[in-house]
Structure 1
Amino acid sequence: MNKLVSIMLVGASLTAQAQSTKEIMYVGTYSLRGSEGIYVYEFDRKAGSMKPIQSVANAKSPSFLALHSSGHYLYSANEAAAKTENGISAYAIDRATGKLSFLNGQPSLGTGSCHVSIDQTGKTAFVSNYGGGNLAVLPIKADGTLAPATDSVQDTGSGPNAKRQEKAHVHSSTLAPDNRFLYVADLGTDKLNIFDIDVKASKVKPASTPYATVKPGSGPRHFTFHPNGKYAYLVEELISSVAVFSRNAKTGALTLLEDNVKTLPANFTSENTSADIHIDPSGKFLYQSNRGHNSLAIFAIGNDGKLTKVGDQSTEGKTPRNFLIDPKGEFVFVANQDSDNITIFKRDQKTGKLTYTGQSVNVPAPVCVIMASR
């Protein structure tokens, strides 16, 4: 075989591998209106469509999902589980098909387990318990199974919103890009608690600057980092706004740059609560979901990290919860909880604006959608 033929065969093999790459999507749901639990799809990028592959039985509202860094495992926070039940479940992922098989579960030491995150080494899971107002820390074994919790933090306090802030409500835990700090949003106390993490021991301790605060009554919910790691953005659920922070990479401390950046049009006066937040891969645009207005607010991100409103996009559904910007930045998928559908949008990477593709997938009470490549 001559050198040219050899090169051509290698090139053809690499092309075939690239073409055979599967993009698998996992959808977490509430156990409502006939939902079976977790749904698995294959995304056809050329057609912009989702093909159903599997449904996995879980009757405890596996609402929020997280992938292991290896791509071999998936974890669900089971929001309807009792304190003594498996508030978090582990699943193995079939590398060829993307299908899931149950591994095990562990109690999450609280109720209303609404969020799970996995550290970048894949050794520790962090579970946010909205009902219990606490954070649970669980080791992950080499085979992807969960060990019993090795640490927990009980938050205390309240806020001015008597209906929603009567006590602590831990809503999410987000790892810093350097995997050294964990940021825990408490909707009930209007705080972002900051922890140093020991992923080998699966332990946490308050950072040297242990928390950041926002305006009373804001209701911290979800949190995300800019790709450059210098800036971070917080959903203020109860007042439908965004808070913008700069971050000290050495200490993990946050400095508030902008607070109460409004996500709703000025002429919208009906009830609304904000939910999820994401930044596109280029770091140029930020999106936040609004339940009530049923839209995604779109912002341009300046060089200083601050936000400028670009527009609003209807989600073509009711009560948008989490949404996904695909890793290439080409598509956005929105989980519309109360209209039982996931809607698909094409994204203009220059303007940040979205166009509905007309593609909608029926899923009972979808909450969370994530993607992995096979």
Structure 2
Amino acid sequence: MTLPDSHAGHPGTSAIAALSRRAMVTLPVAAVAAGQMTSAAAQPAAAQGGGRAARTVAYVGSRTTAEREGEGKGIEVYEVGPHGTGWTLLQTVELDNPTFLAVDHTRRFLYAVHGDFTYASAYRIDPDTGRLTALGTQETGGRNPAHLAVDPSNRFLVVANHSSGSVATLPLRKDGSLGPVADLLSLPGEPGPHRTDQTGSKPHQVPFSPDGRFIVVPDKGLDRIFTLALDATSGKLSLGPVPSVATREMAGPRHIAFHPRRPFAYTIDELRSTVTVYRRTGRGALEAVQILSSTESTMTGDSRGGEIAVSPDGRFVYASNRGGAGDSSPGGPEPDTLGVFAVSAGTGMLRPVGWTSTEGIRPRFFCFGPDGHRLFAANERSHTIVPFDVDRTSGTLRRTGEVVETGSPVCVLFVRLDHRGA
């Protein structure tokens, strides 16, 4: 494994203890244009022309602060082999809590939000190696930015300020850096009944709808899913024609994933550990048609939903369950799980297929690999990324035997480098 480079991040970055890790492991994805930053499946397949094979890199964001019991260092950059069968560490960018990552549509720039802080940061991607060069930071107009997305016009970064109940837009400059906040929209509504997690608006994600017309915002604090419109010229935000849909009381909608071809959407509801099925109707509206548990019927302990994704072929939905409360001691709770659900092609409704241990603790994030044949679970508290082979017929998951050891992983983003614009 190659030795990493590093550079300082935002002022206040602290040194983190060195981590042990295995040299060979497997690749992740991140961003889900479906659920949704960008999933590797959303990346173009290979370099066009020139005869140069595209290289794939994986960017891993982590928790780093003592308040979050973080053991990460910042953003780690890995080169990964075909199908994500081996990783080589290329670079470590040391900074605080880069908890979600996204790339712009040219794949020349990478952006990060910094959980529990008040800013986002920008980086230039080296087109040959994937290494990152810092382009600076910008305040997001709120606290604890939890998610981000680049708008379809590639002009603005949209950010969910989780702890202050707002959505912000920041201009993307020609050099890839971020401009000051263009607009800041507070989300209206009454808090849900949960005494600690629903004290006010808590937007948790800001993906664009598949047609790019709306930003869809699950709000854990208000038990609502908002639909926002963006003026791609000014960056101005407004509520959509159907501003929001209410969820079940104390559901705590966290993330949403869209079917790749049909008008269906699925949320993971953090507080109730449920999956809600929605039919997407005109003007960006969502109509709930089914709610089912994200955990096994024999699960009697506490659990919180983490992530949700639809398989690239649209046949299965996957949801992560965080039931171990971070306890990885011998004799502690069983490892957390990934639920697998079959999708009805006609109605979009779900049927449980089964549950698989993530072989770790607190899977805050998971994603599919670039070809959709593998799924990668990021176990925040056991400090591993665990790959699974996906059975395309049954949807079931099987351990590959590989493990990526890395401190407190909470997001993985795959990028194929095809040297466009280099």
Indicate the residue corresponding to 1:4 in structure 2.
none
**Do the aligned partners of residues 46 and 289 (structure 1) sit closer, same or farther apart at CA in structure 2, a change above 3 Å counting?**
closer
Q: What secondary structure, in the 3-state scheme, does the structure 2 residue paired with 1:339 have?
A: coil
Does the aligned pair in 1 maintain the 2:77–2:92 contact within 8 Å? Answer: yes
Stretch deviating more after TM superposition (42-51 or 27-36): 42-51
Kindly state the Cα deviation for residue 121 of structure 1 after the two structures are TM-superposed.
2.2
Contact 1:64 1:116 in 2 (8 A): yes
Match of 1:253 among 255, 278, 285: 285
Aligned counterpart for 1:341 among listed residues 384, 391, 406: 384
Report whether the alignment pairs 1:45 with 2:82. yes
Q: How does 1:297-312 map to 2 (within 5 A)?
A: 297-303=339-345, 304-312=347-355
- 1:251 is paired with a residue whose SS is helix
Letter in 2 for 1:170: P
1:313 has 2:356 as partner:
yes
CA distance in 2, matches of 1:31, 1:56: 12
Amino acid at match of 2:293: K
Distance 1:191 1:47, change over 3 A: closer
State the match for 2:172 in structure 1. Answer: 140
The one-letter amino acid of 2:400's match is T
Structure 1 residue aligned with 2:313: 282
Please state how far the C-alpha of 1:278 moved relative to its aligned partner. Answer: 0.8
Q: How does 1:70-81 map to 2 (within 5 A)?
A: 70-81=106-117
Equivalent residues in 2 for 1:1-374, closer than 5 Å: 17=51, 20-32=53-65, 33-45=70-82, 48-59=85-96, 61-81=97-117, 83=118, 87-156=119-188, 157-248=190-281, 250-259=282-291, 261-292=292-323, 294-303=336-345, 304-374=347-417
Post-superposition shift, 1:142?
2.0
Q: Distance in 1 between matches of 2:77 and 2:376?
A: 14
Displacement of 1:17: 3.9
Aligned-residue CA RMSD (Å): 1.7
Q: In 1, are the aligned partners of 2:83 and 2:370 still within 8 Å (CA)?
A: no
Bigger relative contact order, structure 1 or 2, given CA contacts below 8 A and separation 6+? 2
Larger radius of gyration: 1
Local SS of the residue matching 2:283: coil
Deviation at 1:46, TM superposition (A): 5.5
Question: Tell me, what secondary structure is at the counterpart of 2:201?
Answer: coil
Judging by fraction of residues, say which structure has more strand. 1
Q: Which amino acid aligns with 1:236?
A: D
> Once superposed, which parts of structure 1, at least 4 consecutive aligned residues long, lie more than 6 Å away?
13-16
Name the aligned partner's letter for residue 71 of structure 1: R
Query: Is the Cα–Cα contact under 8 Å of residues 72 and 408 in structure 2 kept in the other structure?
Result: yes
Partner amino acid, structure 2, of 1:23: T
| Aligned partner letter, 1:302 | S
Say whether the 8 Å CA contact 1:112–1:129 is kept in structure 2: yes
Q: How far apart are 1:149 and its partner, in Å? A: 0.8
Code of the aligned partner of 2:397: L
Instruction: Using the TM superposition, give the Cα deviation of residue 256 of structure 1 relative to its aligned residue in structure 2, in angstroms.
Output: 1.2
- DSSP-derived class of the 1:257 partner: strand
**Residues 46 and 251 (structure 1), Cα distance of their counterparts in 2 relative to 1, 3 Å cut:** closer
Structure 1 stretches of 5 or more lacking a match?
Answer: 1-12
CA contact (8 A) 1:284 1:300 kept: yes
Is this contact kept in 2: 1:177–1:229, CA < 8 A?
no
**Identity in percent:** 32
Change (3 A) 1:67 1:14: closer
Where in structure 2 are there 5+ consecutive unaligned residues? 1-46, 324-334, 418-422
Q: Distance in 2 between matches of 1:247 and 1:272?
A: 28
